């Protein structure tokens, strides 16, 4: 189904368990709402640097745990030595990880990526569509308390000493964890692809009569329909 606009999206709700199978992934449509139960591992540049640049052996057997990753790190307290309690989680912007996410999908079987802001249409077309993978956006984006409630425990934490709390790889036990919005479905369709068209249309007339600045900067974007990444 190709919807007319974002206001036509049904926003159907799905409750899935991890690892999320190809049939479940195939059912998700852009704008749908997803809740997850099972295991999710966190990863951002610290983890990717270790895995893909330093080529360190993975600290856990990722494919046997889950196929869901989350671009985030938690606000987490150590209640007793080695006993962690997650207070809140929120995503960090995903476009910065476009180089490494395809590697994570190809080498570690990741098929569901949770993050912020989505990724570029090229990555969706080239990798998500090829693998039937789905990108979920967190909502808001700063609704960390709500997501924190969905985290029931910390299964394990890896490379904590080297990377620190904010970059370590956390394996989180989650239940009714969400809501997340389907940003890219298994066919490579993007919710932001649809949304940006709608808002650009409204933005353009506001620029009428507003001149370019007298001092330009090299590399600066002057077309408001362009994006910053």
Partner 1 sequence: MRTTEAAAIQPGLIREVAFELNRRAAIAIPRDVEGSISALAQRETQKLAKFVLLEIVNNYKIAVDDQRPMCADTGLPRFYAKVGNDARVEGGFVALERAVREGTAEATRKIPLRPNRVHPLTRKDYNNNVGIHAPTVDYSWEPGADWMDLTCFQKGGLFGGDYRMLFPGDGIPGIKRFYLDVISEFFKRGLSCQPAIVGVGIGGTKDVCVRLAKEAACLRVVGDRNPDPQVAKLEEELHGLGKKTSLGPMGFKGEGAVLDVHIEVAYTHTGGMPVSIHHQCFALRRATARIHADGNVDYRENPLWFTGYYRRETVS
Distance separating alpha carbons of residues 41 and 65, to the nearest angstrom: 9
R_g of the chain, CA atoms, integer Å: 19
Please, what is the minimum distance in Å from the beta carbon of residue 10 to partner 1?
10
Q: Give the residue from 84, 223, 72 showing the smallest Cα distance to 147.
A: 72
Cα–Cα distance, 137 to 140 (Å, whole number): 9
d(C-alpha 160, C-alpha 104), whole Å: 20
| Residue 92 interacting with partner 1 (CB under 8 A) | yes
**Cβ-based nearer residue to partner 1, 63 or 140:** 140
Which residue stretches of 35-190 are H helix?
Answer: 45-48, 62-65, 101-108, 121-123, 129-131, 144-150, 160-163
- With respect to partner 1, which residue has the nearer C-beta, 56 or 221? 221
Residue span binding partner 1 (CB under 8 A) among the ranges 57-65, 101-109, 124-132, 203-211: 203-211
Position 115 contacts partner 1 (CB under 8 A): no
Which of 1, 80, 218, 228 forms a contact with partner 1 (CB under 8 A)? 228
**Binding residues for partner 1 (CB under 8 A):** 6-7, 9, 11, 31, 33, 46, 72-78, 87-90, 92-93, 116-118, 137, 139-149, 163-167, 179, 181, 192, 195-196, 198-199, 202-203, 206-207, 209-215, 221, 224, 227-228
């Amino acid at each position: 189904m190709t919807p007319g606009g974002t206001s036509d999206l049904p926003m159907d709700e799905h409750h899935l368990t991890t690892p999320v199978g190809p049939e479940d992934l195939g059912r998700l449509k852009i704008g749908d709402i997803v809740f997850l139960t099972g295991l999710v591992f966190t990863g951002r540049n610290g983890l990717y640097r270790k895995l893909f640049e330093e080529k360190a052996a993975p600290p856990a057997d990722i494919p046997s745990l889950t196929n869901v990753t989350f671009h985030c790190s938690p606000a987490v307290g150590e209640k007793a030595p080695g006993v962690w309690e997650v207070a809140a989680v929120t995503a960090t912007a995903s476009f910065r990880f476009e180089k490494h996410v395809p590697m994570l999908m190809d080498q570690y079987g990741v098929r569901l990526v949770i993050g912020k802001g989505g990724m570029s249409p090229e990555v969706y077309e080239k990798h998500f569509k090829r693998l039937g993978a789905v990108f979920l956006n967190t909502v808001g984006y700063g609704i960390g308390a709500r997501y924190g409630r969905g985290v029931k425990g910390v299964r394990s934490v890896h490379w904590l000493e080297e990377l620190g709390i904010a970059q370590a790889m956390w394996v989180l036990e989650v239940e009714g964890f969400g809501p997340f919005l389907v940003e890219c479905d298994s066919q490579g369709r993007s919710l932001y692809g649809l949304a940006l068209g709608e808002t650009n249309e409204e933005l353009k007339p506001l620029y009428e009569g507003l001149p370019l600045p007298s001092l330009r900067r090299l590399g600066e974007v002057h077309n408001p329909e362009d994006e910053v990444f």
